[in-house]
Each structure stands twice: as structure tokens, then as C-alpha cells.
Structure 1
Amino acid sequence: MKFFKAVFFLLLVFAAVTVRAQSSDELKRRKAQLNKELEQLNEDYQETLNNKKASLKQLSILKAQINLRQEKIENINSEVRNLDNQISESNNNVRSLQSQLDQLKKEYAAMILFAYRNQSAYNKMMFLFASKDFNQAYKRLKYLQQFGTYRERQANYIQGTQKELHVKINELDRTKDEKNNLLKDQQKEKETLGNERTNQVKLVSDLSQHEGILKKQQKDLQAKIVKTNRAINDAIRREIEEARRRAEEEERRRAEEAARLAAAKAKAENKPAPAAPAPVKPAATRSTSSVLNATPEAARLSNDFLGNRGSLPWPVANGIVTQGFGIYTTPEGIRSESNGLDIRTNSGSAVRAIFDGTVVKVMDVSGTYLVVIVHGEYFTAYSNLRSVSVARGQKVSTKQAIGVVATDPSTGETEAHFEIYKGATPVNPKIWLAPN
């Protein structure tokens, strides 16, 4: 029973170490990705500085840098916590090995003392001859042989434990050095974050000197966002209404067919004609989900879309999120809300469908295009496109190019806006897309 408990304990320890290692690897991978994104944003920001113009693009880049910098600091905090756990575990291992080593040395010293006192051949012979019978003499002879072997094994145990202790101490020192380096990196990132926030405040102050231009840009941008949201909502609502109409027609067709068959059967059997079928229940009383999943194809698309949650491809091949999903406050103190993601990408980048579906909307919104695609009960919306290569009613496949992202001529920004809806409800795209 003790053996099985020991095996179970070792398996638990191995699983914990494996999970921790995976977590540590993931944190390091994410930190490397954050460093890459921050370097790209810094290059973009330096480019705007060289133009000697304070612009909304600078402000947008600074905001994205601050968000990524904060995420990197949180990432470092998680790494430090992992290392603290490793240091604590290593300290426990060192103490345990040191205790084992002390006990082994103590036992070995006792054996050496015993061997010294009984080292003469005479004493060994007397020990054997003092046996009561042959069986006892044989056991004493085996004992003397096993004692010598055990003493050698104890010496090997001591050497092995000393080596393991040395390895653990070196491992502990390396972990402490890694933690110190992380803490230095964290301090550096906090200082950089402070500088970026100072630059943000200064830039807002500089932009406020051009309040008229800034307000006009913000007003135009807000108007475009409102118009885009209205177009997306109209497209989704129209698609839901169309799905309800199709569902009602299908129910009515089935009811009429059932009534026709019942009448034909009654006539063949010389029975009275059956009563008229009850009126079809309006599809408006059914849930949006059941209406959008009324056909086998739509239900399959919905299940496949849901099954790929967390692994769907990004709408652009390369990009950095500059504004996330949900309510946020601008540096000017304006409270706003985003139904999706603003993704900065390279000029001329293709925008791609993230899943199989059918295009239900293509529309020009203030000089750029909007595309809405239905995937069963889910919808995806892609806006701020310079051009499109699909049409309403066209079926598209995963990663198929549907257009090219637009570049703002006044700021030089190339950003695509992307949204996901379940029915008419917007959901956070970041939890649906694969890790970037």
C-alpha cells in the first residue's frame, strides 16, 4: 500500500512540474510576442515623430503601446510568481536532501565504528563459532557479507546525494538569477510605461491646441462608427427576419402537405374530410437561435463555428490590436464602447473571412466598405475596407480574401475593424480567435 501511495505522489509531482513548465513556456512565448508588437509600434511612433506633427495616429499608437506594456508587466508578474514557486520548491528539495545526507553520514559513521571494533579476523571467527547451530552460523556469515555490501552501498548513496544536492543548489541559484533579471526588466518596463503616459498627456495637450481639427476628426470618426453599427445591425435584423419568413413558409408548406395527405386518405377510405389544419404558429414566437438554425446546413455551420472557438483565424495575416472589445475611456476622457477589435496591419493587407459562410451585406460606409457574413446563427463583420472582392449572396470559405484594408490618408493608419455576433448580440472576438 505504501508503494502505491509513493507512486501516486510521484505522479502528482510530475504532473505539477509539467503543468508549471507549460505555463512558463507559454508566458515566455507571449512575452516574446509582446516584445515584437511593442517594437513594431515603437517604429510606427518614431515615424510619426519624424513628421513633426502631433496627430491622432500618434495618440492611437501610444494608447496601443500602453495597453501592450501593461500586459507585458502582468506577464512578467506571472513569470515571477512561477519562479517564486520554483524557488520555494527548490529550497524544500535542498533542505530535504541535506537532511537525507546528514542521516546517511550519521548511519555510515556508526557502521564504520562498528567495523573498526570488529575488524580482526579473530572477532569474526568468534562471532561465527558462538552460534548455537549451523543454521545460525550460516545466517551470521551472510550478515557479515551483507554488512560489507550495505556499507559500500551507503557510501555510494552519500556520493549520489551530494551530487544531487549540488545540482539542486546550482538550479536554485540559476532560478534566483532569472528572477532578479525579470525584476530588473519589470522595473524598466514600468519606467517606460510612465514615460509613455507622460507623452500621452503631452500629446493630448498639443492636440487640444488644434481643438477644431481634432473635434472634426473625432466627429467624423464617431459618425462613421455609428453608421457602420447601424448597417451591421440592419443586415443582421434583415437576415433574422428573412430566416423567420422562410421558417413560416416551411411550416405552412408542411401543414398544407399533411392536410392534403389526410384528405386523400379520408376520401380513399370513404370517411368524412378532416377538419381544416390549425393556422401556422408565427415564427416570431420562436427564438432567434432556433430560427437561424432551422436548416441542417445552418445548424452544422453554427456547431462548427462554436467548435472552433479559440482557434478561428484572424481576419488579417498580421496585425496588432489597438482597441479591444467593450467599454473604454479615451485619453481625452470620452467614454465610448467598441463592439469588436481595431487591428493595425500593413498597408495593402488582405482581409479574410474567418470561417465558411454566406455574404449578406456589402456596403459603402463614408468612403470605405463593410462586409457582413452569416455562419449559421453567428455573424462576422469586416469594416474599413478599401475595396471588396465578394458580393451579397456569395458563399465564402475560411481564409478567403474578401477585400483589402483601407489606409487613412490623413494619418497614414491602416486599420481593419472586426466584429462577431451571436444572433444580434456582439461578443468579444478575442476569445474566438486563435492566439496571435
Structure 2
Amino acid sequence: MRLKTLLLFFLFLSISGATLAQSSAELKRRKAKLSREIESLKKQQNKIVGTKRLTLKQIDALNAQIRLREEKINTINSEVRLLDNQIEEKTSTVNSLKSQLSKLKKDYAAMVRFAFRNQSSYGKLMFIFASESFNQAYKRLKYLQQFSKHRKKQAAYIRETQQELGMKIVELDQNKRSKSELLRSQEVEKVTLSKEKITEAAELKKLSKQEKLVKRQVDSKRKELARLNRAISAAIKKEIAAARAAAARAAAAKAAAQKAAAAKAAAANKTAPKPSATTTAKKSTSVLSSTPAMAKLSSSFLGNRGRLPWPVQGTVVSRFGPSKNKNVSVTNTGIDIRTSAGASVKAVFSGEVRLVTDVGGLVVLIRHGEYFTAYSNLRSANVSVGQEVTTGQNIGSVKTDSDGTNLHFEIWKNTSPVNPEGWLNR
């Protein structure tokens, strides 16, 4: 029973250790990714600052850098909490192993003392020859063998427990050192975050003194978004009108076929046809999903919410919805992703290209049933209207201007934009 208890105990330790190691590795990967994104933003920001030209997009990038830094600090906090749990668990394990070792040694010492006290009066041969029958002699022989074997097992358990105890003490010391390093790293990140917030405040103050410039930038951004929204809305409305016309033609053809079939049946029976019961077609949630193929595509797109691949690798510098800089508000109908120069843009889902146009940068609109994805601020496009694309297919490259390389990405359901961040794989 003691052996089973020990085996179960060690099995539990190995399983919990593997789980904690997996969580720790995931946190380390996330922290490394955040560090890379912060460094990438800093490099691009330094290039832009070198031009001595301050824009709202620079402020957006600074905000994104601060947000990533705060997320990195939160990740470090999670690592510290995880290490605290590991330290607590390993401390408990060490104490438990010490208790087990003490008990094993005590039991082993008792066996050794018993064997020593009785070795003269219970010699093996005398003990066996004193048996009343051959069967009893055999049992006594087996007993002596098992007693000796048990002592050897106990000695082996003691060695194994000592080794396990030594390993856990080493791991505990490593965890404590890792925690100290993480706490030092956390302090460095907090100091850097404070400096970045001071820099942002200074840049905002500088920008606030240039009210006319800010207004021009905001007006330009609003007009750019308005042009883009008009182009996307017009394309979607065109798709809706075409879908309605196709649905109307299909309904008319079906009604004509039913009328002809009824007339034929009435002539064959030479009786007046009975008026058929009026059936009301169920209204679809969207005319864009009225056909089986489009309904399936819409359902598949919706089913991949939160798992869609990113159109480019980068950092979100401007988020969905209204954003305010010094009382100046701009409503973003998508997200802006800062990426590397010449970055390739990939379709996030299979569909059909329904629009390729220029609104101060090329725009590609792809239909996925009742959903649409829009990729704008492109330098070039590798697809054309009517072309079928697959998930991950290269559809163009991002344009680079004085504010860096930013892809504007949107997702629409029918004629309404939705927040893309909730759809992309985190």
C-alpha cells in the first residue's frame, strides 16, 4: 500500500509539473512576442521622428507601444503568480518527501533492529528445521526470503526518495531565482513605461499647440475613412440588389412552374383546378445568404470567429470605434495594423473578390456570404473582381508612406462594420 501511495504521489507531481511547465512556456512565448512588437514599433517610430514631422498616426503608435508595455507587465505578473504557485507546491512537496523519508528510515531501522536481535535465536536453518511439516518449512523459507527482499526494497525506496527530495530542492531554488529575476525585469519595464508616458504627454502637448495642423490631419482622416466607407457600402448594396434580383427571378420561375403543373393536372382530370394554398416563404436573415452555397459560406465564416488568421504580421496601432486625442475624436470602422515595409497581405478566409478600387490607396473587398473583409492602403493588388480566393492567399502588398507601413483592415456584416479584433486569432 505504501508503494502504491508513493507511485500515485510521484505521478501527480509529474502531471502537475507538466501542466505548469506548459503554462510557463506559453507565458514566456507571449512575453517574447510582446517584446518583439515593442522593439519593432520603437524602430519605426525612431525613423518617423527623424523626419521632424508629428502626426496623429505617431501618437497612435505611441499609444500602442504603451499598451503593449502594459500588457508585457501584466504577463510578467502572471509569470510571478505562476512561480509563486510552483514555489508553494514544491515547498509542500519537499516537506512531504522529508516526512516520507523520515518514516521510511524509521521503518527500516526497526526492521534492522528486529533482525539483529533475533538473528541468534532464529537462525535460518534452525527456524526452517523446526517446522512441523514440509509445507510449513517451505512457507518459513519463503517468509525469510520475502523479509530480506522487503528490506532491500525499503533501502531502494529510501535512496529514490532522497534523490527526489534533492531534485525538488534544486527546482525550488531555481524557481526562487527566476522569481527574483522576473521582479527585477518588472521594475525595469515599469520605469520604461513611465518614461514612455512622459514622452507621450510631451508629444501630445506639442501637438496641441498645432491646432490647425491637427484639424487638417483629422479632417483628412475622416474624409479618407468616408471615401472608403462609401466605396464599401456601395459595393455591398450592389451585391444585395443583385442577390434580391436573383431571388426574385428564382421565385418567379418557381411560381410559373407551379402554375403550369397545376394547369396540366387540371386538364388531365378535366376538373377546375383548386386554388393552391398560399405559402409564405420564410424570410432569410439576409438576402446575401439566400442561396445554399452562400448560407454555408456565411456559417463557415461565423464559425471561425476568433480563429481567422491575421492579414499581415504586425501590431494594432489604431483600434475599432471612436478614439480621442486632445478632444479630437475620429471613429474608426476597422483597425490599423503597423507592419514591415513591403509586407504581403493575405486573405483571412475563402471568398470572392467583389471590389478592387483606389481611394488614396488600393482597396480589395472580398465577400464571404453575408460577410465582407476589406483590405485598404495597398500599394498593389494581385487579384481582380470575380476571382475566387482561398484562406491565406496573397492578395497584394501594403503601401508605405511618411507615417510608416499601415494596413487598414475591416470586417462588415451586411451593411454594418464590426470589430475585427474579435474575429482574428489572438
TM-superposed CA distance for 1:394, in Å, is 3.7
* Paired residue secondary structure (2:310): coil
1:180 aligns with 180
| Structure 1 residues 314-336: Cα deviation after superposition (integer angstroms, max 9, x where no partner) | 223x3222123345x43424455
How far has the Cα of 1:167 moved from its partner? 0.5
Change (3 A) 1:98 1:331: farther
Give the aligned residue type for 1:404.
S
Q: 1:99 to 1:425 in 2, by over 3 A?
A: farther
Match of 2:65 in 1: 65
| CA separation of 1:116 and 1:390: change in aligned 2, threshold 3 A | closer
Distance 1:124 1:390, change over 3 A: closer
**8 Å contact kept, 1:263–1:274:** no
Does residue 231 (structure 1) correspond to residue 231 (structure 2)? The answer is yes
Residues 48 and 403 in structure 2, CA contact (< 8 A), matched pair in contact too: no
2:308 aligned to which of 309, 312, 329: 312
Q: Does 1:373 align with 2:357?
A: no
Aligned AA (1:301) = L
Letter in 2 for 1:351: V
Q: Is the 8 A contact 2:349 2:390 kept in 1?
A: yes
Distance in 2, Cα, partners of 1:276 & 1:131: 105
Matching residue of 1:339 = 333
Residues 247-302 of structure 1 show CA distances to partners (whole Å, capped at 9, x for unaligned) of 23212211111111111121122222443885x86x8x82434x222223213322
Q: Which shifted more, 396-405 or 33-42?
A: 396-405
Query: Structure 2 vs 1, CA of residues 162 and 19 (structure 1 numbering), >3 Å: closer, same or farther?
Result: closer
Per-residue CA distance 1:183-206 (angstroms, 9 max, x = gap): 221221111111111100000111
- Corresponding position of 2:418: 427
Helix, strand or coil: the match of 2:365? Answer: strand
Within 5 Å, which residues of 2 pair with 1:223-302? Answer: 223-275=223-275, 278=278, 286-289=283-286, 291-302=287-298
Contact 2:48 2:404 (C-alpha < 8 Å) held by counterparts: no
Displacement of 1:377 in angstroms is 1.8
Alignment match of 1:385 (pick from 348, 370, 378): 378
Equivalent residue number for residue 354 of structure 2: 360
- Separation of aligned partners in 1, 2:197 and 2:93: 44
RMSD: 3.2
> Counterpart of 1:324 in structure 2: which amino acid?
R
Judged with a 3 Å threshold, the aligned counterparts in structure 2 of structure 1 residues 286 and 180 are, in CA distance, closer, same or farther, namely: same
- The equivalent of 1:192 in structure 2 is 192
Aligned partner letter, 2:337: I
Moved more, 306-315 or 73-82: 306-315
- Compared with structure 1, are the counterparts of its residues 206 and 15 closer, same or farther at alpha carbon in structure 2 (3 Å cutoff)? same
Point out where structure 2 has 5 or more consecutive residues left out of the alignment. none
Paired position in structure 2 for 1:323: 318
Q: Structure 1 CA distance, aligned partners of 2:100 and 2:206?
A: 68
Deviates further, 120-129 or 262-271 = 120-129
TM-score, structure 2 normalization: 0.87
Amino acid at match of 1:432: W
Q: Which AA in structure 2 matches 1:288? A: T
Aligned-partner Cα distance in 2 for 1:38–1:168: 36
Distance 2:316 2:256 in 1: 53
* TM-score between the two structures when normalised by the length of structure 1: 0.86
Instruction: Give the direction of change, closer, same or farther, for the CA distance of 1:33–1:323 in structure 2 (3 Å limit).
Output: same
Distance 1:2-1:358 versus aligned 2 partners, 3 A rule? farther
Which is further off, 187-196 or 305-314?
305-314
Q: Partners in 1 of 2:7 and 2:102 — Cα distance? A: 25
Deviates more, 1:371-380 or 1:54-63: 54-63
The CA deviation at 1:161 is 0.5
Which amino acid counterpart does residue 283 of structure 2 have in structure 1? R
Matching of residue 351 in structure 1 with residue 345 in structure 2: yes
Question: C-alpha offsets along residues 67-109 of structure 1, whole Å, 9 cap, x if unaligned?
Answer: 1111211222222222222222212211111110010111112
2:154 corresponds to which letter in structure 1? Q
DSSP 3-state at the match of 2:404: coil
User: Could you tell me the percent identity over the aligned residues?
Assistant: 49
Q: CA deviation at 1:375?
A: 0.8
What is the identity, as a one-letter code, of the residue corresponding to 1:24?
S
Distance 1:164 1:369 in 2: 64
Distance 1:20 1:326 in 2: 38
Which deviates the most, 355-364 or 90-99?
355-364
